[in-house]
Amino acid sequence: MIKSRAISIFILFLITGLFTVVIGNDAITGEYLEARSVNVYVGACHFGSEYVEGGKEATVVWNINQGMWKGVSLRGLTVVAVVSAQKNLDIDSKTRRSVLYVSSRASQLQQEMLIDFIKQNYMKTLGQLVETKVTTVNFQKSGIVYDVAVGKVLSLSATKFLCHNCTQPHQIWYSPLSKINNTAIGKSTVYSYQDKSLSVKWEIGQSINNIFVGQFSI
C-alpha cells in the first residue's frame, strides 16, 4: 500500500514537472528597445526645456527570442509600434495613438498571433491602435549596437551605454513605457520616421540619449 502510494506520488510529480516545463517554454521572451523623441538621460536644464513641448513620440520594438502564443511559435519575429500623443508621453496616456508594424516574414497565422499578443499585453502603452501594417521589419543587434528598419518609413540606429554605472541616475528623467527587465540607457545616432498613418514625422540626425533597452517576458 505504502509502495503503491509512493509510486503514485512519484508519477504525479513527473506529470506536474513536465507540465511546468511545457508551460515555461511557452513564455515569450526577447529584446526590448524603445526610442523617444527627447533625451531620457540629460542635464536638468536641458530636460526642462524639452519636457513641455517635446517627448510626444516614441518607437517601441519587441524582438522575440523564444516563446509561443496560443500554441503558435513566435520565435525570431519582430514587431514595432510607433506611438504619438498630444502631450509628452510621460504625462499623456489618454491621447496616445499608434501604428503597429508586423514582420512580413511571419506566416499569416503568426502575424495574427503577433497582433493578438500585443493587443492583449501592451495596449496601455500604445493607446488607440489606428492601423496595423504588414511590412519588412529588420532587427539586428551586434554587441551593444542595435539597428532597426521598418520598410521605408522608419530607420533607427542605437548604442547601449556599456554599464549602468556609466550613467548618473539623478539625470535619468524617464522610465520605459512598458515594464522590462535589466533596463539600460543608450543613444541613437540615426532616428527617422514618416508614415501617413500618423500625422507626425521626424528626422534626428544627431546623437541624443533617447534609448531604453532591456528584456521583456510574458
Question: What distance in Å separates the CA atoms of residue 181 and residue 211, rounded to the nearest whole number?
Answer: 15
How much is the average pLDDT of 76-89?
98
> pLDDT tens across 25-49, in order?
689 999 999 999 999 998 888 787 7
The set of cell numbers assigned to 13 is 510529480
pTM of the model: 0.86
Helices and strands, counts by H and E, the chain:
4, 13
Residues 132-183 have pLDDT tens digits of 999 999 999 999 999 999 999 999 999 999 865 566 777 899 999 999 999 9
Residue 214 has pLDDT above 50, yes or no: yes
Q: What value does the mean pLDDT of the chain take? A: 89
Q: What are phi and psi of 38, to 5 degrees?
A: -135, 170
Mean pLDDT of 56-66: 98
Q: Between the CA atoms of 68, 63, 89 and 167, what dihedral angle is there, to the nearest 10 degrees?
A: 130
Q: What are the boundaries of each domain within the chain? A: 28-217
Residue 21 reports pLDDT greater than 50: no
pLDDT number for residue 150: 99
Output the nine-digit C-alpha cell for 58: 516614441
